[in-house]
Structure 1
Amino acid sequence: MPQTIADAIAQVRARIGSACREAGRPAGAVMLLAVSKTQPAAAVAAAADAGQRAFGENYVQEMVDKAHALAGRGLEWHFIGPLQSNKTRPVAETADWVHSVERLKIAGRLSAQRPAGRPPLNVLVQVNVSGEASKSGCAPDTALELARAVARLPGLRLRGLMCIPEPSDDAAVLAARFGTLTRLQAALQAEGYAVDTLSMGMSADLEAAVAAGSTMVRVGTAVFGARTYPQTEAPQEGSTP
Structure 2
Amino acid sequence: MVELIERIDPRAVATRLEEVRGRIAAACARADRDPAEVDVLVATKYLVADQVPLLADAGVRIAGENRVQSLVEKVALPGAERLRWEFIGHLQSRKVPDVLPHVSRIHSVCSDSVLARLERHRDLARPELDVLIEVNVSGEDAKSGIAPDALDDVIARCPVPVAGLMTMPPAASTPEDSRRWFAMLRDLAAVRDLRVLSMGTTQDFEVAVEEGATVVRLGSVLLR
> Is the aligned partner of 1:181 residue 2:185?
yes
Structure 2 letter corresponding to 1:213:
G
In structure 1, the residue matched to 2:207 is 208
Does the residue aligned with 1:123 lie in a helix, a strand or coil?
A: strand
- What is the CA distance between 1:115 and its match in structure 2? 3.3
- What is the CA distance between 1:72 and its match in structure 2? 6.4
Q: Distance in 1 between matches of 2:35 and 2:196?
A: 16
- What is the CA distance between 1:112 and its match in structure 2? 2.5
In structure 2, the residue matched to 1:223 is 222
In structure 2, the residue matched to 1:28 is 36
The TM-score normalised by the length of structure 2 is 0.88
8 Å CA contact 1:120, 1:157 repeated in 2: no
> How many pairs are equivalent?
215
- What is the CA distance between 1:170 and its match in structure 2? 5.0
Cα deviation digits, residues 176-231 of structure 1 (max 9, x gap)? 10111111112212xxxxx2100001111011101111100000111112xxxxxx
- What is the CA distance between 1:4 and its match in structure 2? 2.0
- Unpaired runs of at least 5, structure 1: 190-194, 226-241
Cα deviation digits, residues 13-69 of structure 1 (max 9, x gap)? 221122111211112111000011121234322221011110011000101111011
Q: Distance in 1 between matches of 2:114 and 2:79?
A: 26
Selected match of 1:16 from 24, 47, 50: 24
The TM-score normalised by the length of structure 1 is 0.82
Selected match of 1:114 from 122, 141, 163: 122
**What's the C-alpha RMSD, in Å, of the aligned pairs?**
2.0
In structure 2, the residue matched to 1:96 is 104
In structure 1, the residue matched to 2:5 is none
In structure 2, the residue matched to 1:164 is 168
Q: Distance in 1 between matches of 2:74 and 2:150?
A: 34
| Alignment CA distance shift 1:36-1:72 (3 Å) | closer
Selected match of 2:136 from 117, 128, 132: 128
In structure 1, the residue matched to 2:4 is none
Identity value in percent: 37
- What is the CA distance between 1:157 and its match in structure 2? 1.6
Structure 2 letter corresponding to 1:161:
L
- What is the CA distance between 1:134 and its match in structure 2? 1.9
Q: Distance in 1 between matches of 2:133 and 2:31?
A: 25
| Alignment CA distance shift 1:23-1:69 (3 Å) | same
Q: Distance in 2 between matches of 1:12 and 1:157?
A: 30
Moved more, 27-36 or 112-121: 112-121
Structure 1 letter corresponding to 2:162:
L
| Alignment CA distance shift 1:50-1:103 (3 Å) | same
Q: Distance in 2 between matches of 1:11 and 1:213?
A: 20
Q: Distance in 1 between matches of 2:124 and 2:43?
A: 28
- What is the CA distance between 1:160 and its match in structure 2? 0.4
Structure 1 letter corresponding to 2:129:
L
8 Å CA contact 1:126, 1:161 repeated in 2: yes
Structure 1: which 4+ aligned runs deviate by more than 6 Å?
none
Structure 2 letter corresponding to 1:158:
V
| Alignment CA distance shift 1:137-1:94 (3 Å) | same
